[in-house]
Amino acid sequence: MIDIAVKILQKNNYKITKQRKSMLEYLSHFQDQYVNVAAVDRYMHEIYPGMSHNTIYRNIKEFEEVGIIEQRTRDGVACVKYQCDFVHLHHHHFICKKCGKVQEVQMCPLDYFEEQLPGCQIDDHHFELYGTCADCIRLGKDYTESC
């Protein structure tokens, strides 16, 4: 499950340490849901008590820079998830506000916005849809996740 991520790190000249592998293993369980960065930090400290917070957060930043994880902030809380599509790094999400489940959306609306902004140059964008997933509607769930 983490083989592609390890190859990406190697390609970008990052050393493959047991700590990085452990973090990748943990994050790989969050491919369809965001996890609070503080939870990643707690997990890593359980396994490696001497590991500094700076090292953990630096690795998270490096993983994001090379496309292994995706990061977002919700209500001031930093959250990450393991890359759900290593083939198409540019993609968008539907995020369930009840359970936190993330579903990939294939279509990119950038062309629509570029048409409305003649003469402008769009450098970056993020597009997320929020709502209630089919499972939560079917089950009548009414709780909200933190990420």
> What secondary structure does DSSP assign to the chain, as a single string?
--HHHHHHHHHTT----HHHHHHHHHHTT-SSB-EEHHHHHHHHHHH-TT--HHHHHHHHHHHHHTTSEEEEEETTEEEEEE-S-SS--S-EEEEETTT-BEEEE----HHHHHHHSTT--------EEEE--HHHHHHT-------
Is there a binding annotation on residue 92? Answer: no
Whether residue 147 is annotated as binding a ligand: the answer is no
Question: Has 136 been labeled as part of a binding site?
Answer: yes
120 a known binding residue?
no
Q: Is 99 annotated as a binding residue?
A: yes
| Residue 79 known to bind ligand | no
Binding site as annotated, residues: 90, 96, 99, 125, 133, 136
Please report, in range form, the residues annotated as the binding site for Fe cation.
Answer: 90, 125
- Point out the annotated binding site for Zn(2+): 96, 99, 133, 136
